[in-house]
Amino acid sequence: MAALFPDHIDELPNNMSFALVYQIGHLLSFSESSDAMYLTERMPDNDTWSALTPSWIKAERRVLSCWQESTMCVRGECDNVFNVVKSVSPGLITILTRLHSPMITSIANSLSAAALMSFSLSPGSTVDAATSSTFSDMERLSLGAYLLSRNILRDSTMTGHVAGFKYAVLNSKGQQLEGTGDFVLEVGSVTALSLPAIIPIPALTLLFLLLTVACNYLAHPRKGATTLRAQRERMINLVVPNLYRIANMQVGKAADYDYVRCLHPIPASEGDEMAMPLLAYTGG
């Protein structure tokens, strides 16, 4: 549960204080813990659940006192949101007023215990106090507050109107309020590529690669080149440093040429066989 002070939004100062109250007193636990919020104690022997869960969360846990500095800066002018919005457009006023209150309080009040990392089951059920941590809970709330703040800025400018939902930045005529996207910074040092320009690049690269492979295969026909072994032999033979075609001694006819199969052009040890390449004789 989150409590905000003062409770009148028109009186909120720049430095707002709020508290997070853990309402988990006497919640059953299968394990023991010394965490500040999940401190356990042994259940009374006469309790009905003492045979199943020997521990429960100790009552009267501490209250987390929090504060947030809510200073808005628009066009170099920094002040609280109510003074800043006096000189900005209606669309930007709608966005800034929703960012002024702490987002952690919005998440805690709407999700209750389900917003905490330590609660994997329904609120009010048994917890594992040994694996529960106040620090992990605050990490999750802070991450959720960041995502909620980001979504306010993103959805107000990048998401279209969805039927059945009220869109705060649209007026009664269904048009977007003036200045809704004024928080977006435009600088010359940043360049964005559109998706229609990015998608064809890898597609064309793949197409040209396939065409190159196909043309190379058709330009160099070879008997038995469909197997991986034959392709490997062909690549090894192509590294011979001469401009003549290598004649296959097994053919036996001077007019019929092919590549010599030579898996090991350089002997690795004494006695290794090596097929010596012959220069093709064209006659004349």
Contact 73, 92 (CB under 8 A): no
Specify the pLDDT at position 223: 53
Q: How, if at all, do strands 63-69 and 15-21 pair? A: antiparallel
**183/180 Cα distance (integer angstroms):** 8
**Which residue matches tokens 């009010």?**
124
pLDDT of 20 over the 80 cut: yes
Say if pTM beats, i.e. exceeds, 0.75.
no
State the pLDDT at residue 257: 44
- Give the span between the Cα atoms of 104 and 2, in whole angstroms: 8
Query: Regarding predicted confidence, which is higher, 171 or 142?
Result: 142
Rounded Cα distance, 133 and 117, in Å = 8
What is the three-class DSSP state of 76?
Answer: coil
Say how many C-beta atoms besides its own lie within 10 A of residue 91's C-beta.
22
Measure the CA–CA gap between 63 and 119, rounded to whole angstroms.
Answer: 18
Question: What pLDDT band is residue 201 in, cutting at 50, 70 and 90?
Answer: confident
Q: Does 273 score more than 60 pLDDT?
A: no
Cβ neighbours of residue 227 under 8 Å, at least 6 residues apart?
Answer: none
